[in-house]
Amino acid sequence: MEAVGVVVLVVLLALLVIWGRRFNQRINAAWAEAARDLEGTYDPKAGAWYRRSRAIDANLAGVPVHVDHYTVSTGKSSTTYTRCEAEARGSGGLELKVYPKTIFTSIGRALGFQDVATGDPAFDEAFVVKANSDALARAWLSPEVRDAIMQAEGYTFALAGGRLKVTRPRLETEAAAIARVAQATAAVARRGRVIHEEWDAFAAKRRGATSPGRLRIEVEDARVPLRIDTRGFDDSAATTRIVGRVVKGRGEAYAIGGEADREAEALAEVEEVPLSERYRVRSADPAKTARRMTEALCQEIERLAPLSVESDGEQVVVVLPGVETDEARLDAACALAEQLAEADSANYR
């Protein structure tokens, strides 16, 4: 009987070894196939001897992406994670985390814990978004980026310090799934570069000049010289500013917005302006500004919904939340700045 037990044990161990080899062969084949699909390189034994890992390196639309896996041991159990990493150039000070919604995140929402809403119902229902800047996060999570994240099912995307790390608590064994998460990593990581490209295209449309490595456009050859730039891109309070130079004399100082800064508080309140309650209007010359604020102009302001519109008499500044990349909104903000900067001392009605 003891001999039979030994034979059974040996057979089971042999079957286990055979299964393990076949399992590893299948995984190696899947990772090698993914590397070919990504036109990258595959190393079946990357890393130090004590933490060997399969690894794929690929350049996807100009973004070097590294894919590997690692194991975390806790007591008697361990979990293997699939991981993708890439540099996220142009991310400034953005810290962003996107992860799949679970029953626990649903409970947190019910208790009032807030996350960033992108405005995409399907995405917001499926994912939790945390960021140090809501406006920057929305600019980063463009429709193309959101779609790529949704294609990579089950992964957490964490961006901090200009580095993107994408993880999932499982070892991927399918080539298509590995390729999808690598492509999603590249899409998220290159968003900063895409934002710069979008600004370059807008500058070309306006016949303006850009500043290398900066989100800044100068339009000098126009009826109203404009400057478009960002403030606070390296921290959480990012805004886009459209600055128009007053071209017909000097106008009055005024401020249109919500809470006023110290300088705006020194201005007088302008009454009976056809704007909603979220906008207060203050001016150094209330009567003149009241004439300026036509119903059509106020409707333009309401549609654009800027954080503020201000003038010191020499230039007009339209401030939008976040890093604006929507061409229509940039056009509308430029048109508003131009209209206000062109106005002179004549009657406005």
pLDDT for res 133: 84
**Structure token digits, residue 203:** 């500058």
CB of 199 closer than 8 Å to CB of 160: no
Categorise residue 154: left if φ over 0, alpha if ψ from -120 to 50, beta otherwise.
left
Instruction: Write down which residue in 189, 223, 242 finishes a domain.
Output: 189
Residues 251 and 182 in one domain: no
Read off the pLDDT of each residue in 19-38 and give the average, rounded to a whole number. 82
Q: Assess if residue 194 is contained within a domain.
A: no
How many domains does the chain fold into? 2
Mean pLDDT of the chain: 86
CB of 305 closer than 8 Å to CB of 210: no
Residues 98 and 229 in one domain: no
In angstroms, rounded to a whole number, what is the distance separating the alpha carbons of residues 175 and 177? 5
pLDDT for res 340: 93
pLDDT for res 85: 98
Q: Assess if residue 144 is contained within a domain.
A: yes
Residues 284 and 218 in one domain: yes
Q: Assess if residue 198 is contained within a domain.
A: no
Specify the amino acid at residue 339.
Q
Domain carrying residue 286: 208-342
Instruction: Write down which residue in 159, 189, 219 finishes a domain.
Output: 189
Q: Over the stretch 221-274, which tens digit does the pLDDT of each residue have?
A: 888 999 999 987 655 568 899 999 998 778 899 999 876 555 666 789 998 899
Give the CA-trace dihedral at 157, 161, 162, 164, to 10 degrees.
-20
Count of CB atoms situated within 10 Å of the CB of 257? 18
Read off the pLDDT of each residue in 320-331 and give the average, rounded to a whole number. 92
Q: Is the pLDDT of residue 47 over 80?
A: no
Q: Give the residue with greater pLDDT, 111 vs 291.
A: 291
pLDDT for res 348: 46
Query: In angstroms, what is the C-alpha Rg of the chain?
Result: 28
